[in-house]
A and B are shown apart, each in its own frame.
Chain A
Amino acid sequence: MNYKVDPGLYALGHPDADSPVFISANFKMSFDHLRTSLNDGRSGWILVLDTDGINVWCAAGKGTFGTEELAKRIESSGLAGVVKHRTVIVPQLGAPGVSAREVQKRSGFKVVYGPVRAADLPDFLDAGMKAAPGMRIKTFETGERMSLVPVEIVHAVKNLVWVLPFVILLSGFSGRGAFLSHALQFGSVSVIGLLTAIAAGCVITPMLLPWLPGRAFSLKGVWPGIVCAALFLFVRDVLWGLHPAGALETFAWVLVIPAVSAYLAMNFTGCSTFTSLSGVKKEMKWAVPAQIAAVALGAVLWVTSIFV
Chain B
Amino acid sequence: MGKLVYLRNVVTLQLDQGTCCGCAMCTAVCPRGVFEMSGKRARIADRDSCIECGACARNCPEGAVSVQVGVGCASAVINSALGRTSACCCSVDQYQTSGKSSAGNGGCC
Contacts and interface: CB of A to CB of B under 8 A. Distances in A.
Interface of A: 1, 3, 27, 29-30, 51-55, 58-64, 66, 92-93, 95-101, 113, 116, 131, 133, 136-138, 140-141, 209-210, 215-217, 266-267, 269-284
A270 B31 contact: no
Contact of B31 (A138, A210, A278, A279): A138
Interface residues of B, number: 56
A236 B5 CA distance: 37
B105 to A, nearest CB: 7
A267 B12 CA distance: 22
Contacts of A3: 106-107
A277 B72 contact: yes
16 contacts: A52-B104, A58-B90, A58-B107, A64-B101, A95-B53, A95-B55, A210-B2, A216-B7, A270-B72, A270-B89, A271-B109, A277-B92, A278-B12, A280-B73, A280-B77, A282-B10
Contacts of B100: 64
Contact of A137 (B5, B11, B32, B74): B32
B42 interface: no
Given A98-B59, A210-B1, A272-B4, 15 more contacts: A52-B104, A54-B101, A54-B104, A54-B109, A60-B53, A61-B69, A116-B31, A133-B33, A215-B6, A266-B74, A274-B5, A276-B7, A277-B52, A277-B69, A277-B70
A301 B71 CA distance: 37
A277 B71 contact: yes
A6 to B, nearest CB: 15
A289 to B, nearest CB: 13
B85 to A, nearest CB: 12
The 8 tightest CB contacts between A and B, nearest first, are A277-B70, A270-B73, A275-B72, A63-B98, A52-B104, A95-B55, A95-B29, A138-B31
B59 A209 contact: no
B86 interface: no
B31 A27 contact: no
A16 B109 CA distance: 36
Contacts of B74: 217, 266-267, 269-270, 280, 283-284
